[in-house]
């Protein structure tokens, strides 16, 4: 009898222990995992914007010649006739006097000049920012033909510089200063020179379609070469 009692007692202990272990096992599995702390990345420092201040444009001038209209002068510089008239306070935009000097306002944003633009071919030894031929207006028109020379570099003296075409014609620059960032217009027709307008004094057009024109400095070095359209 005592053996049977001991057997049941031992069995009860084993079952109780197994039950406790099983309960502890499930309790352990049911515990939530430890919370993960998020990684905090500091925000970048606020950028300070850099303000761009556009350079103040340099005014140009143009001397009226026989037959000029305000629209043609405006087209030469890429501004409208209305802006040109308002800028110069012209009472009658249709009445221009030969020899009258007009001031040219800066190009409006997005405006595009409409003259003939030659194909620019860098000449041997050509190094910018030397003065260079940029474009020609009214090619073949003896009265209005104009070649534009621009200066992307520092102010330079052009005395002794020359324009030479394959046709053999050659224009020699007088004692004139081409300011930094400025331009000079070389007109084929007669006229009175100004700091920005030079007149060749020809009775016929100086340049022709397909002709190559070169710009030589006072030492005879080629600084620019273009093929006219």
Q: How far apart are CA 59 and CA 42, in angstroms?
A: 51
Neighbours of 222 (CB within 10 A): 16
For the chain, 229 residues long, give each residue's pLDDT as a single digit of tens.
566 666 767 777 777 777 777 666 666 665 544 545 556 656 555 544 444 444 444 557 788 888 888 888 888 877 888 888 888 888 888 888 888 888 887 654 334 444 554 544 555 554 457 899 988 999 999 899 999 999 988 888 999 999 999 888 899 999 999 998 889 999 999 999 999 999 999 999 999 999 999 999 998 888 888 888 8
pLDDT attached to residue 110: 38
The per-residue pLDDT for 171 is 96
Q: The dihedral of CA 90, 93, 98, 101: what is its sign?
A: positive
pLDDT at position 117: 47
**Residue 212 φ/ψ region, left for φ over 0, alpha for ψ in the -120 to 50 degree band, beta for the rest:** beta
What single DSSP character describes residue 215?
E
Domains of the chain (ranges plus CATH)? Answer: 54-108 (3.10.350.10), 115-229 (2.60.40.1260)
Q: What helix, strand, coil percent values describe the chain, rounded to 5?
A: 20, 25, 60
- Report the pLDDT value the prediction gives residue 27, as an integer from 0 to 100: 65
């Amino acid at each position: 009898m005592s053996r049977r009692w001991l057997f049941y007692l031992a069995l009860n202990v084993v079952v109780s222990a197994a039950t406790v272990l099983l309960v502890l096992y499930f309790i352990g599995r049911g515990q939530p995992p430890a919370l993960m702390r998020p990684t905090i990345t500091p925000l970048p420092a606020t950028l300070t914007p850099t303000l761009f201040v556009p350079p103040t444009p340099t005014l140009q001038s143009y001397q009226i010649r026989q037959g000029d209209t305000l629209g043609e002068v405006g087209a030469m510089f890429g501004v409208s006739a209305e802006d040109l008239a308002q800028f110069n306070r012209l009472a009658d935009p249709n009445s221009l006097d030969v020899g009258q000097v007009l001031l040219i306002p800066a190009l409006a944003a997005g405006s595009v000049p409409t003259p003939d633009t030659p194909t620019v071919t860098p000449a041997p030894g050509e190094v910018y920012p030397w003065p260079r031929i940029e474009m020609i207006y009214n090619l073949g028109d003896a009265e209005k033909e104009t070649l534009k020379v621009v200066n992307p570099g520092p102010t330079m003296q052009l005395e002794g510089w020359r324009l030479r075409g394959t046709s053999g014609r050659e224009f020699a620059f007088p004692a004139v200063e081409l300011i930094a960032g400025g331009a000079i217009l070389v007109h084929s027709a007669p006229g009175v020179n100004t700091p920005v307008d030079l007149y060749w004094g020809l009775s016929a057009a100086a340049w022709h379609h397909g002709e190559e024109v070169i710009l030589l400095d006072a030492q005879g070095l080629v600084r620019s070469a273009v093929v006219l359209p």
